[in-house]
């Protein structure tokens, strides 16, 4: 984009200079006038996220636990004529709102990441007394390639180069810095869609539990970023 913008300025500058110099009158004096040249440079890429505010379909039981709850379908639409990378990150853990500004990470006020390192897990799984939060890549449009992390070999292994994308498989954590989840070039004027699913779960709470999630509203902010490749 920098190269394109510089070219436009250069062209306008030449036009302005050429319009500045007019003609000499019969007495050899010079008359001058000016012309204003203007133009608009667009970003070349747009990103829309739908919906922009989401909630899990029902409350979590912090004392008993239960099955995973799902937000099924957050769509990121990118419009551009070029090749781009789509990235995701979170601002902090899924935390109780009252501590979200600092999100100290205490076990009673946050959901932990579904994984902390390594490859995504093939099937969503949360053990007793665990509280987990994560996402999977549900689908991508034609022309878009998922990052290898979300591809599987069909036998339970994720992060498999050349593998396939399957909905509800290869569950990952949201990092706190931008990580590419998909890349490519849209094949239609309406842009390309990448869709994710989000899960959270409190595993079965048994007698060995030493603490429980505090009651209240829990929140985090997920940021999507689309950048053109040079």
- Contact 20/57 with Cβ under 8 angstroms? no
Determine the Cα–Cα distance for residues 5 and 29; give it in Å rounded to an integer. Answer: 38
Per residue of the chain (230 residues), what is the pLDDT tens digit? Answer: 322 211 222 222 223 333 333 344 445 566 777 676 766 565 689 999 999 999 999 999 998 999 999 999 999 999 999 999 999 999 888 998 877 677 766 678 899 999 999 999 999 999 999 999 999 999 999 999 999 999 999 999 999 999 999 999 999 999 999 999 999 999 999 999 999 999 999 999 987 777 888 899 999 999 999 999 87
Nearest one of 124, 120, 111, 113 to 172, comparing CA atoms: 120
Determine the Cα–Cα distance for residues 73 and 67; give it in Å rounded to an integer. Answer: 19
Torsion angles phi and psi, residue 169, rounded to 5 = -125, 160
CB burial string 182-219: b at 16+ within 10 A, e below: bbbebeeeebbbbbbbbbbbbbebeeeeeebbeeeebe
pTM score: 0.80
Determine the Cα–Cα distance for residues 204 and 202; give it in Å rounded to an integer. Answer: 7
**pLDDT tens sequence across 2-43:** 222 112 222 222 233 333 333 444 455 667 776 767 665 656
State the average pLDDT for the chain: 83
């Amino acid at each position: 984009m920098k190269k394109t913008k510089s070219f436009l300025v250069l062209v306008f500058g030449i036009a302005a200079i050429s319009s500045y110099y007019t003609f000499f009158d019969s007495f050899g004096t010079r008359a001058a006038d000016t012309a204003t040249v203007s133009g608009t440079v667009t970003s070349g890429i747009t990103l829309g996220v739908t919906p922009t505010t989401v909630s899990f379909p029902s409350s979590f039981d912090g004392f008993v636990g239960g099955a995973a709850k799902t937000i099924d379908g957050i769509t990121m639409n990118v419009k551009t004529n070029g090749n781009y990378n789509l990235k995701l990150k979170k601002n902090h853990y899924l935390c109780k709102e009252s501590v979200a500004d600092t999100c100290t990470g205490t076990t009673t006020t946050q959901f932990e990441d579904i994984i902390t390192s390594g490859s995504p897990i093939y099937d969503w799984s949360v053990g007793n007394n665990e509280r987990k939060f994560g996402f999977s890549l549900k689908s991508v449009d034609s022309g878009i390639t998922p990052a290898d992390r979300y591809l599987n070999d069909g036998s339970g292994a994720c992060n498999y180069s050349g593998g396939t994308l399957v909905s509800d498989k290869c569950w990952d954590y949201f990092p706190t810095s931008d990580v590419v989840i998909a890349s490519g070039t849209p094949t239609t004027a309406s842009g390309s869609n990448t869709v994710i699913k989000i899960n959270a779960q409190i595993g079965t709470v048994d007698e060995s539990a030493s603490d429980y999630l505090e009651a209240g509203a829990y929140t985090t902010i997920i940021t999507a970023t689309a950048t053109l490749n040079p």
